[in-house]
Amino acid sequence: MAIHPPADRIWWNEKLTAPEVIWISVAFVWGLIMFFAMIYWHAVGDQNLSNEAYKISPEVFAERTEAMVEKYKVREEGDTGIPVVRPPAGSDIYMLGRLWEWWPILELEKGQQYRLHLSSMDWQHGFSLQPANINLQIHAGYEMVITITPSETGEYSVVCNEYCGIGHHTMVGRIYVVDKKK
């Protein structure tokens, strides 16, 4: 029994039965398949994280974000005072996380590519784009750059899903995806 020393002292010479051999082989091959699936997706899939990241100070990142806002601000969101920014398709766009907001609001065109830069001003935050359900971890001092292509028009929320203190559940942002201007 499993609670006694093996009855068969030379247990390492036991022969395996067919079901054992088959299952171990199947499971092993399945592991290989799952491993290569990730590599395959890097080659042909459309959803991969870039490995592009930089060390950056929060101040510098904030400056770049503010510069973008200055240049491309189109309006303010209701009476919140939060700027809505519409940078040209194909450009570099910035969103920063800080206690407790994702800033600014971005307005993007469907089907266009943007290089999205993300970083935090203070603690760790979770960039969770809803309802698309894309989730990224954002740190202060690190700038993450990914190229996104919004594929559906609509109003998207950015929720913080990394605990960041008592205001965590109020930390939200927004991205509008609109049709291309004729």
Partner 1 sequence: MAIAAVFRTCPDTGLKVHSHAENLIKANAVVAVIFLAVGGFFGLLVALTRWPAVHLLPADAFYLVLTAHGANVLLFWILFFEVAVLYFASAILLNSRLAMPKVAWGSFVLMIIGAVIANVAVLQGESSVMFTSYPPLKAVPHFYLGLILFAVGMLGAVLVFFATLVIAKDEKTYEGSVPLVTFGAITAAIIAVFTLASGAVILIPTWLWSMDLISEVDPIIYKVIWWGFGHSSQQVNVAVQVAIWYAIAAMVLGAKPLSEKVSRAAFLLYIVFLQLASAHHLLVEPGISSNWKVFNTSYAFYLAVLGSMIHGMSIPGAIEAAQRRRGLTQGIFEWLRKAPWDNPAFSGMFLSLILFGFLGGITGVVMGTEQINLIIHNTMYVPGHFHATVVAGTTLAFMAITYLLIPLIFRRELVFKRLAKWQPYLFGIGAAGISLFMMGAGTLGVPRRHWDITFTDAPLTVEMPGTAFLMMGLNGVFAILAAIGGLAYIVVVVGSVFFGKHRDEAVAKANPVIFDGGEAVTQYGSEGTIRIPGTIVLVAIFFTSFVLYYFVNWKYLSEVWPLR
Range 152-171, binding partner 1 (CB under 8 A): 157, 159-166, 168-171
Tell me: cis bond preceding 131? Omega within 30 of 0 counts. Answer: yes
Q: Is 171 in the site for Cu ion (CB under 5 A)?
A: yes
Alpha carbon distance 75, 158 (integer Å): 19
Complex with partner 1: residue 73 or 124, whichever CB lies closer: 124
- Of 180, 181, 44, 175, nearest to 112 by C-alpha is 180
Alpha carbon distance 89, 158 (integer Å): 20
Among 11, 179, 181, 182, binds partner 1 (CB under 8 A): 11
CB 128 within 8 A of CB 172: no
Q: Which of residues 51-70 bind partner 1 (CB under 8 A)?
A: 51, 53, 55
Which positions from 142 to 161 touch Cu ion by CB under 5 A, shown as an x/- string? ------------------x-
Q: Which of residues 88-147 bind partner 1 (CB under 8 A)?
A: 101, 105, 118, 122-124, 126, 128-144, 146-147
Among Cu ion, partner 1, none, what binds residue 46 when CB lies within 5 to 8 Å by partner kind? partner 1
Among 64, 73, 110, 168, binds Cu ion (CB under 5 A): 168
Tokens of 52: 């592009």
Tell me: cis bond preceding 104? Omega within 30 of 0 counts. Answer: yes
Alpha carbon distance 180, 178 (integer Å): 6
Say which amino acid occupies 44. Answer: V
- What's the min distance (Å) between Cβ of 44 and partner 1? 10
Among Cu ion, partner 1, none, what binds residue 44 when CB lies within 5 to 8 Å by partner kind? none
Q: Using CB under 5 A as the criterion, which residues of the chain lie in contact with Cu ion when the complex forms? A: 125, 160, 164, 168, 171
